[in-house]
Amino acid sequence: GESVGLHLPTLSVQEGDNSIINCAYSNSASDYFIWYKQESGKGPQFIIDIRSNMDKRQGQRVTVLLNKTVKHLSLQIAATQPGDSAVYFCAELSAGGTSYGKLTFGQGTILTVHP
Amino acid sequence: EADIYQTPRYLVIGTGKKITLECSQTMGHDKMYWYQQDPGMELHLIHYSYGVNSTEKGDLSSESTVSRIRTEHFPLTLESARPSHTSQYLCASSELHRGSSREQYFGPGTRLTVT
Beta-carbon separation of B98 and A100 below 8 A: yes
Lay out the sheet containing A56-58: strands in order across. Answer: A4-5, A19-25, A72-77, A62-67, A56-58
> Peptide bond before B8: cis, by omega within 30 degrees of 0?
yes
With CA atoms as reference, the chain A residue closest to B89 would be A43
Largest CA distance in chain A: 46
Average pLDDT over chain B reads 93
pLDDT of residue B7: 97
pLDDT of residue B35: 97
Q: How far apart (Å, rounded) are the C-alpha atoms in residues B33 and A102?
A: 10
Chain A residues in contact with B59 by the CB 8 A cut-off are 99, 102, 104
Q: Give the pLDDT confidence of B16-66 residue by residue, as tens digits.
A: 999 999 999 999 999 999 999 987 788 999 999 999 999 999 988 889 999
Give B93→chain A minimum CA distance, Å.
12
pLDDT of residue B15: 97
Q: Give the pLDDT confidence of A69-111 residue by residue, as tens digits.
A: 999 999 999 999 999 999 999 999 887 655 567 889 988 899 9
- CB-CB contact of B36 with B60 (8 Å): yes
Cα→Cα distances A20→A23, A45, A80, B18, Å: 10, 18, 10, 44
pLDDT at A14 over 50: yes
Interface test with B, best of A48, A103, A109, A112 (most B CBs within 10 A): A103
- CB-CB contact of B54 with B82 (8 Å): no
Average pLDDT over chain A reads 88
The B residues from 2 to 61 touching A (CB cutoff 8 Å) are 2, 4, 35, 40-45, 48, 58-59
pLDDT at A17 over 60: yes
Give chain A's radius of gyration (CA, Å). 14
